[in-house]
Amino acid sequence: MQFYRFLFLHGLNPGLNNQHPKFYIYIIIHYFFSQIKEMEESPFEKYQTKTVTLYVEPLLDTYNQTYVSALTLNAMPDGPLSKTIRIYNSPNLSPFQTFTNTINSPNNCTYIIMKHPNANKSISTNWMLEEDIPTVFSFLQANNYKIDTSLTKLLNHSQVNLGGSSQIKRTGNRRMVCMFSFSFPDKL
Q: Please, is 70 exposed, middle or buried when counting C-beta atoms within 10 Å of its C-beta (0-12, 13-18, 19+)?
A: buried
Rounded average pLDDT per 10-residue block, the chain, 188 residues: 54 56 63 60 63 90 87 92 89 57 54 90 90 96 92 76 53 83 74
Q: Please, is 180 exposed, middle or buried when counting C-beta atoms within 10 Å of its C-beta (0-12, 13-18, 19+)?
A: buried
Q: Distance (Å, rounded) from C-alpha 97 to C-alpha 91?
A: 10
Q: Distance (Å, rounded) from C-alpha 43 to C-alpha 80?
A: 26
Q: What pLDDT is stored for residue 71 in this prediction?
A: 96
Q: What pLDDT is stored for residue 169 in this prediction?
A: 54
Looking at the DSSP assignment, which residues form a beta bridge with residue 113? 85
Q: What pLDDT is stored for residue 46 in this prediction?
A: 62
Edge-first strand order for the sheet with 51-61 is 85-89, 109-113, 66-73, 51-61, 175-182, 145-147
Predicted TM-score (pTM) above 0.75:
no
Q: Distance (Å, rounded) from C-alpha 138 to C-alpha 54?
A: 14
Q: What pLDDT is stored for residue 171 in this prediction?
A: 55
pLDDT digit string (tens) for 66-101? 889 999 998 899 999 999 999 888 766 566 555 544
